[in-house]
Amino acid sequence: MRVVLGIEYCGSGFSGWQYLGAGRQVRTVQDCVQQALASVAAEPVHVVCAGRTDAGVHACGQVVHVDTGARRSARAWILGANSALPPDVSVAWAREAGADFHARYSATGRLYRYFILNSTARSGALAGRVTWHYRPLDHARMQAAADTLIGEHDFAAFRSSECQSKSTLRDLRQLRVRRAGDFLVIDAEANAFLHHMVRNLVGVLLAIGAGRQEVGWAREVLEGRDRRLGGVTAPAAGLYLCRVDYPPHFGIPAPRGAFLPAPPA
């Protein structure tokens, strides 16, 4: 039986999603989730996720699946797993799926949200949950630059050197910059993302918003296809995997929302 689950986590205390093996003494989300689900299933399970997140990156819309011989109700999966999970990880929902569903390969899109506290003073309460930028940021300039990146392009300049994807062609469907008081929120939506792609996009937008680069620089970086020309990778702390999209017939529930509220449109 294939079981699909929605996972939420605060990434601050984890070395990323991916389990690195029994010999590595690091804390990962996958390892925590696998152990918790195995306790409910009373057998070992392997968890497949929609998107592997890096150390420090959060999720309120991660989707995973496991194959198991155990038959449990949705309530049993949720309550049983959550009783075995640490406070910074939780199962939000669970349901059965057919063998044709795959958490990663059935996905048609992903939405990441990046939070920036643009204020002279940093926040102790939001440490690790948002990125702090004390210099004033012009969100209108950032949006003008973001608009030049929308569409299907070769995003080689926005991937990390460790990225193992065979193709760097991605369809960036949305890159939206909004301000709400001292907060800037950047929504990035695409069919899929390269390793560090969102954080590298944000890094370019931050340089433009701070006035260190012109609006046209974003497009120059894109067309240069050279990561070395792309500036600084934005910190992981402000990044959330908020939603994974699937064809409607799979009946995948909508996520409960980001850990922080989105500002009004």
pLDDT band (50, 70, 90) for residue 257: low
Domain assignment present for residue 180? The answer is yes
> Are 4 and 40 in contact, with CB atoms under 8 Å apart?
no
CATH number of the domain encompassing residue 203: 3.30.70.660
pLDDT tens sequence across 33-44? 999 999 999 999
Same domain, 102 and 194: no
Kindly report the average pLDDT of the chain as a whole number.
93
Count of structural domains, the chain: 2
Same domain, 70 and 173: no
Q: What gap in Å lies between CA 128 and CA 97, rounded to an integer?
A: 35
pLDDT tens sequence across 113-135? 999 999 999 999 999 999 999 99
Q: Rounded to 5 degrees, what angle do the CA atoms 189, 164, 254 make? A: 30
How many CA atoms are closer than 13 Å to the CA of 23, on its beta-carbon side?
0
CATH number of the domain encompassing residue 93: 3.30.70.580
pLDDT tens sequence across 44-66? 999 999 999 999 999 999 999 99
Q: What is the mean pLDDT of residues 237-264?
A: 81
Same domain, 113 and 232: yes
The residues annotated with a catalytic role in the active site are 54
Task: Kindly compute the dihedral angle of the four CA atoms of residues 64, 69, 73, 74, in this order, to the nearest 10 degrees.
Answer: 0
Q: What is the mean pLDDT of residues 16-41?
A: 88
Same domain, 128 and 234: yes
Q: What gap in Å lies between CA 146 and CA 219, rounded to an integer?
A: 9
Same domain, 98 and 141: no
Domain of residue 224: give its range: 109-241
pLDDT the model gives residue 140: 98
